[in-house]
Amino acid sequence: MRSAFAARLAPALAIVAMLAGCALGPSKPPRVPEPRSIDTAPAPLPPLTGPLTHPKTRWVPVAWAELPGFDEDTTSEGWVALLANCQRPNAAFAPLCGEVRRLAIASPEEQRAFLMERLQPYRVEAPGGQSEGLLTSYYEPVFDATRQPSATHAVPLYGLPPGAGRGRAWYTRQQIDTDPQAQAALRGREIAWLADPIDALMLHIQGSGRLRITEPDGRQRIVRLAFAGTNEQPYRSVQGWLAGQGVSPIGRWPEDVKAWAVQNPQRVPQMLWSNPRYTFFREEPLGEVDAAFGPRGAQGVPLTAGRSVAVDRDAIPYGTPLWLWSAGPTAQLQRLVVAQDTGSAIVGAVRADFFAGTGAEAGRFAARMKQPLRLWALWPRGLDPSGTAVSRN
């Protein structure tokens, strides 16, 4: 169990990490160090290939010297995600959680020494050997909402209805908006009402968010909308639909989409319906500690801004510490992160979605992020990804 001091420290560290997530990267470009002599590397391990447990990926053991920027990362920020990870660790990482908690207030040198002593870095590759992939980003939006519909707030957000989210397709987005049977199934499940259908679409795409709700008595409070399920319909990109209609490339999302909607109000329903996927939510209270973290990811633990990523769970197990490198026009990133979420569009071995944080600034960052990615999995020494001991011979 986490010590009382570490428990008090975690929210403060989370705030630091969230602020770091706003900066979203070091001020100088990543440096890829020259590999050290093989004499300084740990005893070699056999490559870990996907057929062991994860057919989409191949893990190749490497020396720590291969990880760009490893000696420069602010480990205390990454430690927040490791502490969250220990709320629900995978079986391989669980035995290390006592040390992770003890080192929450340790120096960066002590934290790095722990990582190097207890974990083995593996370069994450596709089965064919490709080691470069794609990094995108997502965030937690914040919108104003009301409890009752009005002339200004007429777009509902729904809780999960009976029959949805059970692995089979439910009504499409268009049917939810137009079909009397679908509307009858959702009646009484309205959580809140938004003013803009594009804001609702943003919540559906991101999968969670925060609402500044005006209650019927006039009081205002902030709540979190957590992911509860979907209608199990395929996801389609609205931006892709707009491009197919000959609309100029969307540079700022959602600002440019809203500007197009103002000019083409009669086509807005068609644009929204181009994405049949629909997301349902559940409301959660937002306490002081909760506010320092993002929503819970698919691993079941709160996300840490700038330190949590969504991955393909068939390629990288939830709870896996990762070293992430990405360089491009949006950000220069080289840092410790943890695989704590997933998404329908996050598919492939070297593929990650970077949790940028909460609010408009994080949203602007997330909208711009699309650049090359390299990943290294940091796995407990002597284990393959299934938790089975492997031989060094």
Select, from the ranges 245-254, 289-298, 366-375, the one with the highest average predicted confidence (pLDDT).
Answer: 366-375
**Confidence tier at 355 by pLDDT (50, 70, 90):** very high
Q: Is residue 205 part of a domain?
A: yes
132 and 9, same structural domain?
yes
Check: CB of residue 223 under 8 Å from CB of residue 203.
no
**Confidence tier at 97 by pLDDT (50, 70, 90):** very high
Q: Single out the residue in 289, 315, 335 at which a domain terminates.
A: 289
- Backbone conformation region of residue 94, classed left if phi is above 0, alpha if psi is from -120 to 50, else beta: alpha
243 and 219, same structural domain?
yes
User: What's the mean pLDDT when you consider all of the chain?
Assistant: 84
39 and 133, same structural domain?
yes
| CB count in 10 Å sphere of residue 96 | 18
Place of tokens 């707009």: 242
197 and 237, same structural domain?
yes
Q: Single out the residue in 261, 289, 317 at which a domain terminates.
A: 289
149 and 277, same structural domain?
yes
229 and 193, same structural domain?
yes
What pLDDT does 6 receive? 37
Q: Is residue 294 part of a domain?
A: no
What pLDDT does 254 receive? 82
Residue ranges making up the domain that contains 244: 139-289
Quick one: three-class SS letters along the chain? CCCHHHHHHHHHHHHHHHHHHHHCCCCCCCCCCCCCCHHHCCCCCCCEEHHHCCCCCEEEECCHHHCCCCCCCCHHHHHHHHHHHCCCCCCCCHHHHHHHHHHHHCCHHHHHHHHHHHEEEEEEECCCCCCCEEEEEEEECEEEEECCCCCCCCEEEEECCCCCCCCCCCCCHHHHHHCHHHHHHHCCCEEEEECCHHHHHHHHHHCCEEEEEECCCCCEEEEEEEEEEECCCCCCCHHHHHHHCCCCCCCCCCHHHHHHHHHCHHHHHHHHHCCCCCEEEEEEECCHHHHCCCCECCCCCECCCCCEEEECCCCCCCCCEEEEEEECCCCEEEEEEEEEECCCCCCCCCEEEEEEEECHHHHHHHHHCCEEEEEEEEEECCECCCCCECCCC
109 and 180, same structural domain?
no
Q: Is residue 390 part of a domain?
A: no
255 and 185, same structural domain?
yes
What pLDDT does 32 receive? 31
- Looking at the 3D structure of the chain, how many domains does it have? 2
What pLDDT does 163 receive? 85
pLDDT for 252 beyond 50: yes
Q: Is residue 386 part of a domain?
A: no
pLDDT for 206 beyond 80: yes
143 and 98, same structural domain?
no
Q: Is residue 387 part of a domain?
A: no
Place of tokens 């602007």: 364
Q: How far apart are CA 80 and CA 84, in angstroms?
A: 6
* CATH number of domain containing 354: 2.40.40.10
Compute, in degrees rounded to 10, the torsion defined by CA atoms 241, 247, 248, 251. Answer: -50
Q: Is residue 44 part of a domain?
A: yes
159 and 57, same structural domain?
no
> In terms of residues, how long is the chain?
393
Q: b/e map of 136-156 (b: 16 or more CB within 10 Å)?
A: bbbbbbbbbbbeeeeeebebb
CA distances for 320 relative to 96, 228, 248, angstroms = 12, 24, 39
Contacts of 24 (CB under 8 A, 6+ apart): 306, 331, 333, 356, 365
Q: Is residue 385 part of a domain?
A: no
Question: 6-47 pLDDT, tens per residue?
Answer: 333 344 444 443 333 333 433 333 333 333 322 333 333 444
195 and 166, same structural domain?
yes
What pLDDT does 330 receive? 94
* CATH number of domain containing 226: 2.40.240.50
Q: Is residue 300 part of a domain?
A: no
314 and 285, same structural domain?
no
Confidence (pTM): 0.80
